[in-house]
Chain A
């Protein structure tokens, strides 16, 4: 039964839903919700990035740029021009999708490290523009972001809401929102993977030359997944901006891009649930290491190195394989 649990895609989604639902039992204070919400937002972002890096095998070192554009677009439009956040979220995604489409065609012709270089450069350019155009973006010191509001009803971590007779804190409400969006994101991604598009992507990852030989329009599919992952990032970026209430240009920076890719690789490239684990670990690790103070950086680097050396396929795939081999060993012994 456990074996089938590991294989079945739908069960992964179900397991995730259960975890999201049950987790609040362990939370003591709003800070835990805070972190969980951020983890969920980052998790959804990397579920999107995983499609590009994990499935299609395209290295992108500038993804935080899309995250940042989504965040700033929503922040500026709601803060300065007073547009409703739901509109700016969606419009930002459209804008970023278009940007990714335009930029994607030429960039995705590049291969391997050259592609990573081009995406790196793109991310940098975006971050530099955000940093320099202070009249619009508040510059390096950042800008405040109004809270998420739908038709005048405001969702803020500082408020309390009543729902079916119970009082729900804003933190909890945000957690539910992020959790639901995560489930949605995973569901969409899994559907994509199981569709002809997903199969085309995997063929591109396996061997681009072979794929084009059998008639797969590799350029079109690479571009498609690039746009989709950019849209994921933009939506989550906008959400993040409204959640945090304040953003600075470094959310679009090189370091953030590296963290996103690390989440994908650490959790397990090509594993939708795995990358969520990656997001959890990489967000929690600094918090857990915080008490080590000056040793924090050293330990973080060491953990990263060791994990990747001994679990090169990522945490979840390696663990799955380990459990699977243990199970089959047992079966062998019993037989």
Chain B
């Protein structure tokens, strides 16, 4: 009796386990796959990205879907781990058999999934920013955000225009910060500027006074640049004000969200950063093609989730819209057709910028898509 029971239970367990793995075969939906860092150290990126995707997939479905078919969003949380990201990408491609993927909050997650994406020939829109994602160009990988090189370029250009050439750099040791630091160093050299102080902090640090003191004590520094995201730049900003450092202060696009202002408070006043016009839709001139797109995204997101928009959520919005545009252009979910359609997208007005893709440029943006914003009286102000 016990032998039989054992065998039956074993069979049941295995069948259950196997059954859970077979993805549900829904009728005729277009499957959009996504792996995002919803929890973990990169949740600042993944959380708004997921919210945006869910919101807009629902919206698009309400409006009739794409090509007469409903969209189905299959999403997983990689918790900020690149190995998990690769596993979920594998699951999306091989088990769930999605038609297109919009995801990869971090560069590590994206790059880990790239070999699989290329081999399985799945169109992939990455939401991560490092240069290496689209340069060298990979056939099936497209990038939605501007690269960190563009952010560095934009900031350094603004600094140079204002007459500052010697920079104090403080960056996080996570992927975003580290990559940003490298790009800043390279960009500074090519623009004839110099990084005279270079300090770092760990993303889990709670006080950057020690590092900033080093910058303050270096009399050569003209201007300070902080490359990081999450709560760390807010801590840096507060420490900066506390130490009474009077030098011009720049942040990266990683802080382009109202939650940064909430955290940093008055200390943020006077700092500049490169950002999409998402934070200042009303300051855009009436004839700016981005204005309606940005305004509608901001209103819809804030109404639905009762929290401020973030640059990162906007990446997901643009990624989804690009995917939908490509599907419609291709007229089917045939992967090669969709890929070609993505490559030929021109003049697509998104929140992050206006996209002009090509076979050589799978990002479609340049440094001008960044506007320079300044924080004035606790709010964002468009400078140029």
Partners in one complex: yes
CA distance A290 to B132 in the complex (A): 29
Contact indicator A141/B130 (Cβ below 8 Å): yes
Number of A-B contacts (CB under 8 A): 101
User: Is B346's CB within 8 Å of the partner chain A?
Assistant: no
Stretch at the interface among B60-68, B107-115, B312-320: B107-115
B residues within 8 Å of A by Cβ?
Answer: 2-3, 6, 14-15, 17-18, 20-22, 39, 75-77, 80-84, 86-88, 90-91, 93-95, 106-108, 111-112, 114-115, 119, 130, 132, 173-175, 178-179, 182
Contact indicator B119/A158 (Cβ below 8 Å): yes
Residues A140 and B175 in contact in the complex (CB < 8 Å), given A286-B84, A290-B76: yes
User: Is A44's CB within 8 Å of the partner chain B?
Assistant: no
Contact indicator A248/B82 (Cβ below 8 Å): yes
A-B contact pairs, 17 of them (CB 8 A): A28-B21, A28-B22, A28-B95, A34-B94, A35-B87, A134-B178, A141-B108, A141-B178, A142-B82, A142-B108, A142-B111, A244-B86, A246-B115, A248-B83, A250-B81, A250-B82, A290-B76
CA distance A14 to B1 in the complex (A): 23
Q: Which residues of A contact B6 (CB under 8 A)?
A: 2, 323
Q: Which residues of A contact B112 (CB under 8 A)?
A: 142, 244-246, 248
CA distance A327 to B95 in the complex (A): 41
A residues within 8 Å of B by Cβ?
Answer: 2, 26-32, 34-35, 38, 131-132, 134, 139-142, 144, 158, 244-248, 250-251, 284, 286-288, 290, 293, 296-297, 323, 326-327, 330
Say how far B1's CB is from chain A's closest CB, in angstroms. 8
Q: Which residues of B contact A134 (CB under 8 A)?
A: 178, 182
Q: Which residues of B contact A142 (CB under 8 A)?
A: 82, 108, 111-112
| A2: contacting residue among B3, B82, B90, CB under 8 A | B3
Closest to A30 in B: B94
Question: 14 extra interchain contacts, Cβ-Cβ under 8 A, other than A141-B130, A141-B178, A251-B83?
Answer: A26-B14, A26-B15, A29-B94, A32-B21, A35-B87, A38-B87, A140-B173, A142-B111, A144-B115, A158-B119, A248-B83, A250-B82, A287-B21, A293-B77
CA distance A158 to B119 in the complex (A): 7
Residues A28 and B83 in contact in the complex (CB < 8 Å), given A139-B175, A330-B2: no
Residues A141 and B179 in contact in the complex (CB < 8 Å), given A2-B3, A288-B20, A296-B77: yes
Closest to B75 in A: A293
Closest to A286 in B: B84
Residues A140 and B18 in contact in the complex (CB < 8 Å), given A246-B82, A293-B77: no
Say how far A67's CB is from chain B's closest CB, in angstroms. 11
CA distance A155 to B371 in the complex (A): 48
Of the listed residues B18, B76, B83, B119, the one surrounded by the most CB atoms of chain A closer than 10 A to its CB is B83
Contact indicator A248/B108 (Cβ below 8 Å): yes
Q: Which residues of B contact A131 (CB under 8 A)?
A: 173
CA distance A31 to B93 in the complex (A): 8
CA distance A35 to B84 in the complex (A): 11
